[in-house]
Every structure is written in C-alpha cells, then in structure tokens.
Structure 1
Amino acid sequence: MLRFIIVTLTLCLALTAQAETPKVSAGKLVRLADFPSEHVPARHVDIWLPPDYSQEQSYAVLYMHDGQMLFDGSTTWNNQEWQVDEVASRLITTGKVQPFIVVGVHNGGANRHSEYFPQRPFQALSKTQRQHQYTLRRSESQKLFNQEVYSDRYLRFLVEELKPYIDAHYSVRTGPAHTFIMGSSMGGLISWYALAEYPRVFGGAACLSTHWPGSFEADNNPIPERFLAYMHDRLPEPEEHRLYFDFGTETLDAMYPPLQARVDNLMSDLGYTERLWQTRKFEGAAHTENDWAKRLHHPLLFLLGN
C-alpha cells in the first residue's frame, strides 16, 4: 500500500503547472502565468475572487500551496480538487466567514519536497542524517529530494515578492490578522513553518494531513523530533495566531495519529487554547483532495469565521 501511495504522489509531482487554466463554478479566477521570482523557479499563481468582488470592499487573503489542485478536477492529474471556489463562496455568501480571496501558488513539480520541507529543522539534522535523506527515492526513477532543501527561499518568494504584488493589485487587508496560509501533506509542513518564520505576516495556518514523518520512513526516523524541537522554540506566543491541524486514518494518513498526538501535547504545553488551536481527526479519511474538500469548511471557519 505504501509503495502505491508513493508512486501515486510521484505522478502528482510529474504533472504540474502545464495544466490549462481551471474553470470555477463560483467567483472568478485570475491566472498570473509564470510569476517571476529571484528566489525560486517561476510558476503559475491562480487568484480566486469571490462572487461580487469589489474594489470598494476590503478582503482577507488565504495563500494556499499546490495551487493547481484547488479549483477544477478536469485539469488535475487525478481528476480531484479541493473545491475551494464552491466551499469558500458558500461560506462567504451565508455570512459564516469574512470575505476573502484565495491565492493558489502552484508547486515546483519535482522540486516540491525541497520547497516544502521546513529548512531549519532539516539543517538541525546531523550531516549523516541529511545525507541519508538525499539518498531516498519516491520511486526507481525519482529521488525524494530533487535538490537541496530551499524552503526558506520559497517563503521569501511568498513574503517578499508575491504578497507585495497581491497587496498592490487587489483590495485586501494586509496585516497578519487578515493573512492566512494553508496546505496539505508537505503543504501542511510548510504552512506551520511559514507561521513560525513570519509571525508578523501570517496570522494563522491550516495544516491538513500534515506529513509529520517528512519522508516515508516509519522506523528510526529523526525528523519528527526535529520538527517538535523547532516548534517548541519558534512557534509564536499563543496570543492571536491560530493553528489548525487535522488528519485521516487511511492510506498515508494512517502514519499520522501518533505523531499528531505528540504535536497536540506540545501545543497544550505552549499554552494554546481551543480559541487559537484546533486538531481534528476524520475517521476513514484518506490522503486525497476529495477528502480534503469534504472537510475544507472546518479550517476556513476556524481561520476566517465571523
């Protein structure tokens, strides 16, 4: 089963930003094709505007990773999507959340693991442990890490290049109280890492099916310890920053419950309360966009709810 999951994820990485522009059933989608960067390779950015978007109103902003998987299953490698436009528009039009736009940042394809793996915890591994990670493979034809970890540069791209563009071209509230970040699996890792590295930029992070192992090794894996140590030292004080975690129990998510329990203990020890931190378990849920779509309303309500 694990081999099947790894091969499936490999296919996901191979089919990335070449897809046609997604169609949405609610709101409007604007594509910034091959958005340039001095820090990372250029990639598409898809901006979703809610129904009745107006320059006369100010909106919160949700940055989401794996942007090519968010809106239209007919353009994705597995014919699945997060259904962001449907779920977000329903919550906005019913007044359950504050109005917001979504900035869907396409992943780096084969570089995805190198972009999304939190860099400081990786550098805290021993030299031997880092070298071992670079030898691991997703499949016979593809390494786990296509190059050295560069997630700090990916975050600089978001904070120093993409966010200023969004702030200048759209009617948005620019402070951390209205700026959030979300992702799943490796995108869950980079989301909490972004909050910890840039607490004055992001006011909340949602991490679905967070890939706490960091690799696909279940035994003698030093990575979760490094994540916990970093989070203990670097997560912002539990005042106004919000953190959402969740996990399923099937396919790759079956690895997560004991690791998420350790994170939950840490969050409690750090003083995070129910108002600022939430962890949800979804029995029978697998590691798929279909499953994330079914529960997307939970993190949206937690981060953006009225």
Structure 2
Amino acid sequence: MTDGRTTRRSYRGAMRRLAACLITAAFASAATADTTLSFNIDLRAEMAAGRFDPGRDRLGLRGGAAPLAWDRPLLATPGATPGRYELRLTLPDDAAGGQPLAYKFRIERGAGQEASEGWEPGRNHTVLLNGGEVGVAREFGAAAGDVPVSRSGRIERLGLVPSAHVQAREVQVWLPPGYGQDVEHRYPVLYLHDGQNVFDARAAGAEWQVDEAAQRGVASGRLRPFIVVAVSSTATRTLDYTPSVMTVPAERPGSSSAPQRQGGGIAAYAQFLAEELKPAIDARFRTLPGATDTAVGGSSFGGLASLWLALHRPETFGAALVVSPSVWWDDGFVLRDATASAPKPRPRLWMDMGAREGPQAVALARELAELLGRRGWADGSLRFVEDDRGSHDEASWARRVPAMLDFLYGRPQ
C-alpha cells in the first residue's frame, strides 16, 4: 500500500516509466460525426400494473458509452402524452467503438432500491450510431431486437466441455489465416475468459472483436500467427474468477437478502484450464504448448483471474492480459497476493484501466501497477495503459484489443 512522500515520488517515477510504454496512437480519436438519439418510452402498462408511480419514480437510461453509464442514470422527462417519457442525447459515432450501443431503461426509485430492481427484462437493447438522428419509440420492457452478429475468420465451436472441477462450459477456437495450409507450423495460444463476448455480440449486445483484430493483424503481417481459445463463463462466474472468499452485505437495511459469502473458486477453475482444457486443445490443434507461448486474458473479474493465473500458474501461463481488473475485490486481495507472490519465470503482463471506470478503480489500478514495478516487473515485462475514453464495457475493451495483441504477438518493427 502507498504512503509518504518517498512513495509518491517513486510512484510518479514508476508512472513515467510505464507511460513510456503507452501506444497513444492506438486510442487516438479520429474526426467523427454525431448521432442524436431521441427516445419515447411508453410506461402506461407499468403504471396500470402498479410498477411505476409518476409521483415517486423516475425513468432512467443506462448504457455502455459516455455520457451513458451502467452505474448511474440519465433521467427521462414526462412527455406531452401522459405515461410517455422522453429523452434526447447526442453521442459521437465512435462512442461504442463502432459497435451497436448497448442500453437499458430502468425505473429509478432512489436510495434503498436494490441493484437488481427496476430494469427492463431480458437482454440489453442496442442501437447503431451511424450519424444523423435516430428515433426509438416503444414500450418499456419490449423485447430486444436481434443483435447484429459479425464473425471473422475460421472459428470452431467445441460445444460444452465437461470438467471434474467446474461447470461444463462452451468453448470456441479461432484459427489464424494459413492454419489449414501449413500443416507443420505450430502456434502460440491465447485463452480468454467470458468467451461468449469475444467473437460476437450475441450474448451481451457488444463484443471484444478479437477475431476481427486478430484476422487483420495476422493477415497484414503485423502479428505473428496465433490461436485464440474463448472459454465461456457460466452462472458461477463470480466463484470461478475470484481468488478469495468475500462477504457481500445485504443490498439495503431490512432487505430480504442476507449477507453472503461469495467467490474464492479460482483454484478449481485453474485446474480446469491447465489440467483439462489445455491438454485437450494441445492434442486437437497444432499448438506451442510451453508457458512462453501460452497467454491468458480477461476483463473485470476475468482480469483478476488472469493475474492470479499468471502469478500462481507460471509453469502454464507465461503472459496475461489483465483488463480493467476488479482490484477492489475483498479489500484489495490482489494487492496482498501480488506482494506475497514471486513467480518464476516472471510472466509478461498487460494491465489497463479506463479513466471513466471511476477514480477508485483508476487509483487501485495505478497502485497495483506500482506494486508490480517494485516487485521486479520492468518496462519490458509490464505494460500499464490508462484509456482516457475507456468505460467498463466490451466496446472500450474492443478498442484496446489491437494494442493488447501487439503486446503479445507483435513483430519487431
């Protein structure tokens, strides 16, 4: 943990050294047009059912690109027709990284409302930002439309992969251009958590676009060819991806929900990845199986899991993408864990955080980066990136994917 002027000076020095690693051009904004969204939402059915009280409740819009956020609403105002609410906002066309913007409306009841209450049911709605004005008029809770699905290159679905340690889960494998032609060549492998969001937007309304970025990078010669294994998460995601047990308090005093102990299942998930899935991938595909050629990555809890795997399974994973990690988990368990860990050989680490993920998240990420620097990770083995435009969502992570792949597989320039 940081304190004192000496630590602040060392922190600033570490940040200057780490800043030298940033590829600012990767996140530079090109000139774009704007899209104005005009929403007209019908709440009359909710009012008739007693689920919305105009005298008490508000209607909020939440989403995955600024000025929208998932943790705070933009409030709609009553329209000319009773029971209808209106909201108008303007966003740059690239606000969602060129993907459909994911959003949902929520009935906002203020302090004391549980986090799961008030949302429109079902999956996220999406809207394309392609310039001009887009009008959305519908009922609150209407079914979301089909999500545009884009996939690039050769992707094999392995179906549900069973395990003796965790729930069975879907696995998909992206193979690089030329894989079918050069039958002697072997490839490094990148394992990614939350694999349902890696190649298309079907599950979350947005995606990482790893297949598009990898296809372009390998085909252009900028990246060495590699294989991507996308490992889907399940309903046990929190358990699987967290390294310690944390007591989560009830969401509000008097709530029917009691404090719960959650998480702490990363060791079992690691057994699945390292002892069950990886041997199966190595047997089926032409991989380079050593730790030097095996990387792991993920975001949020997946970032936490990736760092733990790199620190505690260095014989299997020689590099990790630690994307928007949940450093806050269990009062900063990862800070204590990184202090106590001395993996050999030391894995290469990409770590990042979006400036729009909140000041606490950014401060904790900086603290973790400084700690790793003190523990021996130098500029060549650690790259720390702060994305000025980054939020905690797939579109922000997709924008950083090309730089992540350059870090892992970029050819010398």
Q: TM tier, shorter chain?
A: 0.7 to 0.9
TM score, norm. by length of structure 1: 0.81
Deviation string, structure 1 residues 79-136 (Cα, Å, up to 9, x no partner) = 2010011101111122222211110000022x111111113xx4xxxxxxx4x33x45
Deviation string for 1:201-237 (max 9, x for gaps)? 11100111111112xxxxxxx521x321211121425
The answer (yes or no) to whether the contact 1:61–1:178 under 8 Å persists in 2 is yes
1:156 aligns to what?
271
Residue 299 of structure 1: CA displacement? 1.4
Q: Return 293-302 or 178-187, whichever deviates more.
A: 293-302
CA gap of 1:96–1:193, structure 2 versus 1, over 3 A, is same
Summarize the alignment of residues 225-304 of structure 1 with structure 2, pairs less than 5 Å apart: 226-237=333-344, 241-250=347-356, 252-304=357-409
Corresponding residue SS for 1:281:
strand
Inter-CA distance 253–203: structure 2 relative to 1 (3 Å threshold): farther
Q: How far, CA to CA, are the matches of 1:52 and 1:38 in structure 2?
A: 35
Counterpart check, 1:63 vs 2:191:
yes
Aligned residues: 275
Deviation at 1:143, TM superposition (A): 8.9
**Corresponding residue for residue 189 of structure 1:** 304
How many Å separate the matches in 2 of 1:211 and 1:287? 11
Aligned partner (choices 156, 162, 165) of residue 30 of structure 1? 156
Q: Percent identity?
A: 34
Distance 1:51 1:151, change over 3 A: same
Q: Structure 2-normalised TM-score?
A: 0.61
Is the counterpart of residue 201 in structure 1 residue 313 in structure 2? no
AA at the equivalent of 2:335: L
Structure 1 residue 288, shift from structure 2 partner: 0.9
The 1:305–1:44 alpha-carbon spacing in structure 2 relative to 1, beyond 3 Å, is same
Deviations 1:9-63 (A, max 9, x none): x999989xxxxxx965422111111110000011100111122213321111000
Unaligned runs of 5+ in 1: 16-21, 123-129, 215-221
Match of 1:100 among 213, 223, 226: 226
Contact 1:32 1:46 in 2 (8 A): yes
Q: Secondary structure at the match of 1:295?
A: helix
Instruction: Identify, as 1 or 2, the structure richer in helix.
Output: 1
Conserved in 2, the CA contact under 8 Å of 1:209 and 1:253? Answer: no
1:48 aligned partner: 174
CA distance in 1 between partners of 2:389 and 2:323 (Å): 15
**Letter matched to residue 107 of structure 1:** S
Contact 1:210 1:247 in 2 (8 A): yes
Q: Residue type matched to 1:176 in 2?
A: A
Higher relative contact order (CA 8 A, sep 6+): 1
Between the aligned partners of 1:248 and 1:7, the Cα distance in structure 2 is 25
| Of 203, 214, 218, the match for 1:76 | 203
- 1:199 is paired with a residue whose SS is coil
Range that drifts further, 24-33 or 169-178: 24-33
What is the aligned partner in structure 2 of residue 88 from structure 1?
A: 214
2:257 and 2:227 map into 1 onto residues whose CA distance is: 35
Question: Contact 1:253–1:287 at 8 Å: present in 2 too?
Answer: no
* Partner SS state of residue 326, structure 2: coil
1:116 to 231, 236, 241: 241
Cα deviation 1:154-187 (Å, max 9, x = unaligned): 1100000000000000001000111000100110
**1:149: Cα distance to partner?**
2.7
Q: Aligned in 2, Cα 1:148/1:81: closer, same or farther, shift over 3 Å?
A: closer
Q: The residue matched to 1:296 in structure 2 has which SS?
A: helix
Q: Name the CA shift for 1:148/1:182 in 2 (closer, same or farther; >3 Å).
A: closer
Distance 1:167 1:298, change over 3 A: same
Q: Secondary structure at the match of 2:308?
A: helix
- CA distance 1:233–1:104, shift in 2 (3 Å): same
Superposed displacement of residue 255, structure 1: 3.1
State yes or no: 1:223 paired with 2:353. Answer: no
Quote the Cα distance in structure 2 between the aligned partners of 1:141 and 1:13.
Answer: 23
Alpha-carbon distance, 1:301 to partner: 1.1
CA contact (8 A) 1:24 1:72 kept: yes
User: Match for 1:246: what amino acid?
Assistant: D
Q: Is the 8 A contact 1:13 1:112 kept in 2?
A: no
Q: What's the Cα RMSD here?
A: 3.1
Gaps of 5+ in 2: 1-69, 74-103, 105-114, 125-147
Distance 1:240 1:150, change over 3 A: closer
